[in-house]
Amino acid sequence: MLSVRNFSTGFRRAGENLVAVDAISFDVEQGETFVIIGESGSGKSLTGMSIAGLQPSSAFVSGSIRFKDREMLKQPDAELRKLRGTEIGLIYQDPLSSLNPVWPVGDQIAETLTAHGLANRAEARKRAVEMLERVRIPDPHRVASAYPHEISGGMRQRAMIAMALAAGPSLLIADEPTTALDVTIKAQMLELLAELKREMALTIILITHDMGVVAEVADRILVLYAGRIAEIGPADAIMLQPSHPYTAALMTSAMISQTPAKQELNAIVGGAPGLGSFPPGCRFHPRCPRAQDDCRTIEPPRRKFGAVELACHHPIGDSMPAGVART
């Protein structure tokens, strides 16, 4: 369904091109849930928005993003607007800031249909109520007439899902759809997405840093670090036996529930590099306990390693020089 090849994007600042996503390549198969994970600033959301042609106007792009044999980076704005909604649905991080505060929720969902000429106003309004009911919102007629601030965060997120799917897209890009939701509502949201995926034959690209979410829904996982792919492969292989030291560190730092009450939480030492300050060689080497001289000077090529592909000179499970501690 989706093929990304050598895709790069970034921003121009003071006459300099600052690369945020650097020559990444991956495929998304029809019907799968493809999860992109990584720390804040790794390029997750920028990658997702670029697939839908929503990168900022100040961004530069290169490479290729092909969706159903269409080259997205060469589509005119008018064609991209036709594709968004009908072919590609989007769920944004914060529904309160994404929804228009002065329009009733039902009108905003209905606009997805009228804007694409799929229904008149009356039909679109009826369809909006049906979509609210489909995403399990009680009393959908009342919620359709309510303004975003008049409904709960969980309902706003469900309304965003209803809006994203109203026109029947085949690809859903969900950017942190469970952010700021409590555990119970989060579980309901994941169950709802899984149900809608089956009913509507959806392909889902899920962007998150929540490892609990990843474990629940992922078929395959892409791990991004500082704009580059660290590891990519089947969810089971990556979750159960991560090979890249960065992936392993992410998994360990996420195990809050398994950390004794009086023990310090596991954390990744240091911070991710900012735009324009990427180190030479492997970008993770300043924070990596397995780093060697080659990591500091030579960019690791992406290679096959067991069931996954990764970019690492010394992956976990590979032989290490004497005296080097394993993670």
Dump pLDDT digits (tens) for 22-50: 999 999 999 999 999 998 889 999 999 99
70/65 Cα distance (integer angstroms): 8
Q: Which structure tokens are listed for 201? A: 């034959």
Mean pLDDT for 77-83 is: 92
Mean pLDDT for 74-89 is: 92
Q: Where are the domains of the chain?
A: 2-218, 225-311
Residue 24's nearest CA partner among 57, 56, 46 is 46
- Would you say 170 and 202 are in contact if contact means Cβ atoms under 8 Å apart? yes
Q: How confident is the model at residue 92 (pLDDT cuts 50, 70, 90)?
A: confident
Is CATH 3.40.50.300 correct for 2-218?
A: yes
Q: Which residue has the higher pLDDT, 179 or 103?
A: 103
Instruction: State pLDDT tens for residues 155-207.
Output: 998 999 999 999 999 999 999 888 777 788 888 888 888 899 999 999 999 99
Contacts of 47 (CB under 8 A, 6+ apart): 4, 7, 9, 21, 24, 36, 207, 224
Angle in degrees, CA 40, 2, 214, rounded to 5 = 40
| pLDDT for the residue numbered 324 | 46
Please say if the pLDDT value at position 223 is more than 60. yes
Please say if the pLDDT value at position 67 is more than 70. yes
Q: How confident is the model at residue 7 (pLDDT cuts 50, 70, 90)?
A: very high
- E strands in 92-191: 171-175
| pLDDT for the residue numbered 32 | 95
Q: Which structure tokens are listed for 59? A: 């961004």
| pLDDT for the residue numbered 109 | 95
| pLDDT for the residue numbered 276 | 81
Mean pLDDT for 240-244 is: 92
| pLDDT for the residue numbered 269 | 82
Mean pLDDT for 72-88 is: 92
Helix, strand, or coil here: 270? coil
Q: How confident is the model at residue 237 (pLDDT cuts 50, 70, 90)?
A: very high
- pTM score: 0.90
**Residue whose token pair is 């249909």:** 113
Please say if the pLDDT value at position 321 is more than 60. no
Q: Tally Cβ neighbours within 10 Å of residue 287.
A: 18
- Would you say 209 and 38 are in contact if contact means Cβ atoms under 8 Å apart? yes
Please say if the pLDDT value at position 258 is more than 60. no
| pLDDT for the residue numbered 261 | 61
